[in-house]
Amino acid sequence: MDTLAIVLRFGSYAVLSLIAGVPLFLWLALGRDRGRLVFRQIRAAYALLLILGAALALFGLLAATAAMTGTALFPVEWDMVALVLSATASGKAIVARATLLIVLLPLAMRASLRPAALIAALATATLAWSGHAAAGEGMAGGLHLLADMLHILAAALWIGGMACLLLSLHRAQGGATLPMLHAFALIGSVTVGLLIATGILNGVMIIGLDALPAALGTIYGRLLAIKVGAFLVMLLLAANNRFRLTPAFERHAITARPALRRAIGVEIALAFLILLLVGWLGMIDPMAAA
């Protein structure tokens, strides 16, 4: 069941990162009108992501109910599902997420970029209630939850931006690629700053400042170290893209396109590895021994 829960959490993080990140990036990078034209071209694929996101929310609810009650996933005990929905913050967050994804569907089909971006961001922020940040109380708990929400949305924006760039680079007539690359230079810098600041705050809130040196002796600490290492590699790739491959693309797009496409592909693969680790970390007691 733990393996299934990790897979479902990873799937939710990956799908919702694209659901929120793609329209947010198109809006911020290209503006409402030009971004909407690009969004219109991918609305069918985006609608499939929304359906998949809602399905993952449902299966996540069933898996969480089975884990809490110690029963099999099927047949579904609907009384227990109703109890989880009414009595837990994560259950209520799942209902909110699924509702928002359903509301998003007609907006996506109309290519309403700005409303879609805002509602998608709200739906993705509900993921914060499925991790360690939801366990806090009082002002400190509220600060931790807010930091986790910002961390999730910053990651989604970065992943969504890379997905838009990769899609543009795969098209023979990718006229929006260069404006996206220029916008990503600023958006990426702000996103990285948010990820670092909120990541440090989350780490201190979860593990505790005094316990940080001993954290590498735990499963949680070692997985967190792998996550940080993958993030640092992503930063190196992003710097290479910005300072070497983007200028090369500006000079001669046809020649530089394959290298830039490969680099962004590797960066997205690392981002999904990090999301897998996030899904795993959310299932682990931070102080559990290795």
Q: What is the largest CA-CA distance in the chain?
A: 63
In the block, residue with structure tokens 């702000």: 190
Distance, CA of 155 to CA of 59 (rounded, Å) = 23
Query: CA 133, 128, 148, 207 torsion: positive or negative?
Result: positive
Instruction: Flag whether 288 is in a domain.
Output: no
Residues of the chain with pLDDT > 70, as a percent, come to: 95
User: DSSP E strands: which ranges in 92-195?
Assistant: none
* Distance from the Cα of residue 162 to its chain's centroid: 12
Model confidence pLDDT, tens digit, residues 46-104: 999 999 999 999 888 888 788 777 777 777 778 888 888 888 888 888 889 999 999 99
pLDDT at 63: 83
* Domain that residue 130 falls in: 2-281
Instruction: Flag whether 20 is in a domain.
Output: yes
Number of domains observed in the structure of the chain:
1
Phi and psi, residue 210, nearest 5°: -70, -30
Instruction: Flag whether 176 is in a domain.
Output: yes
Distance, CA of 119 to CA of 103 (rounded, Å) = 8
In this prediction, residue 31 has a pLDDT band, given cuts at 50, 70 and 90, of very high
Residues of the chain with pLDDT > 90, as a percent, come to: 63
pLDDT at 139: 80
Instruction: Flag whether 69 is in a domain.
Output: yes
pLDDT at 1: 47
Instruction: Flag whether 73 is in a domain.
Output: yes
pLDDT at 173: 54
* Distance from the Cα of residue 69 to its chain's centroid: 29
pLDDT averaged over the chain? 89
In this prediction, residue 288 has a pLDDT band, given cuts at 50, 70 and 90, of low
- What is the mean predicted confidence (pLDDT) over 94-123? 94
Instruction: Flag whether 286 is in a domain.
Output: no
pTM of the entire structure?
Answer: 0.92
Distance, CA of 142 to CA of 156 (rounded, Å) = 21
Instruction: Flag whether 287 is in a domain.
Output: no
Instruction: Flag whether 222 is in a domain.
Output: yes
Model confidence pLDDT, tens digit, residues 194-246: 999 999 998 888 887 777 777 778 888 899 999 999 999 999 999 999 999 99
Please classify residue 183 by burial: count the beta carbons closer than 10 Å to its beta carbon, then call 0-12 exposed, 13-18 middle and 19+ buried: buried
Asked if pLDDT for residue 262 goes beyond 70, the answer is: yes
Asked if pLDDT for residue 43 goes beyond 80, the answer is: yes
